[in-house]
Amino acid sequence: MTPSNTLRSAPVVADDALLLELRHGRHVLPVTQLAMDLGLFELLVERPAGAAEIAARLGVTPRAAEAVLAVAAALGLLAADADGGFALTEVAATYLLRSGEFYRGRFLHPDDPALTALRRASSQEDAAITPLAGDVALLPDEEVRDFTERMAAFARPAAGALAAHPALAGARRFLDVAGGSGSLAIAVARAHPGLACAVLDRGPVCRLGEERIAAAGLGDRVRTVDLDMLGDRPWPGEQDAVLFASVWHNWDPATCAELARRAYAALRPGGTVLVHELPLDERKDGPLAAACLSVTMLLSHRGKQYTRSELAALLTAAGFEDVGADQAFGLYAVVSGRRPR
């Protein structure tokens, strides 16, 4: 496809990894205390173990075990090996074993609210203990606005790098699924003057998006689509590119697989799906911001932070080809795939 425009360069934005750690790092102490209360560190004195075994032996869900292990490893309390096992580090063996000479004792009271919520979430699958948002169609307008604006604040720094993705060069139609107030679609439209963009989201969010799109002067090229992405109505079709930005981590693998299939159906042959996420490293031992965000998902949604290979496998299973991953802004990555021609 011949590019129809010249890509407009985006301003350089400072990496926001530190801010992500500050935002989600509130889970560090509750996770460490839960690991101590469960006896994780004593269990690993025997030998290294993987997440599935640890979940079974400690009586927590596999998703919870993965999140706790990722945070503990990112902190340097555990070390991951290439086979998926986790072992104690010297720091944990010295200070976090109850029988140790230098045991530091409790970090949090047993009734600490954050620890209590994490304990509950770790023992029951698919239970949102502290939901970040409910069905936006049922929420008051001020709650919808507050939540949508908070999510937009996280999206905006990454917008320029995402807009520069090679798959968008020469594209004519672009669909941003669960695109919120349209921050990313606006950035993409600005970078690609020949591109028509659509932001798919629920009605109350679309109304906020229309405000932001109008303020950006892009009402002629960026529109909103009031649609439940998992509902019965089909998505707008014949797209050149379909984007999921920080969407899949909210959902379990089965739902992500369904979203991949719907993206496939919405794309024209040769079109590209883009999954923009903050991934875990392949050993699931960091980075800390991603590990802590998995805890946020454990408490509030059905999802988790995926690795690049897990995201790629979901796209491959849906029929996409040329699946690969590119580093994006800061800690983010874009995993993409092409619908066969």
Q: Is 74 left (phi over 0), alpha (psi -120 to 50) or beta?
A: alpha
Give the whole-angstrom CA distance, residue 336 versus residue 328.
12
For the chain, the distance separating the N- and C-terminal CA atoms, rounded to the nearest angstrom, is: 13
For 285, the token pair is 């031992």
For 170, the token pair is 């020469």
Nearby residues of 6 by Cβ (< 8 Å), 6 or more positions away: none
Cβ atoms of residues 151 and 180 within 8 Å: yes
From 24, 27, 165, 249, active-site residue: 249
Q: Which of 203, 219, 202 is nearest to 211 (CA)?
A: 219
249 an active-site residue?
Answer: yes
Strands 267-277 and 239-245: parallel
Please work out, in degrees rounded to the nearest 5, the angle formed at the alpha carbon of residue 174 by the alpha carbons of 268 and 282: 90
Q: 3-state class of 125 per DSSP?
A: coil
Catalytic residues: 249
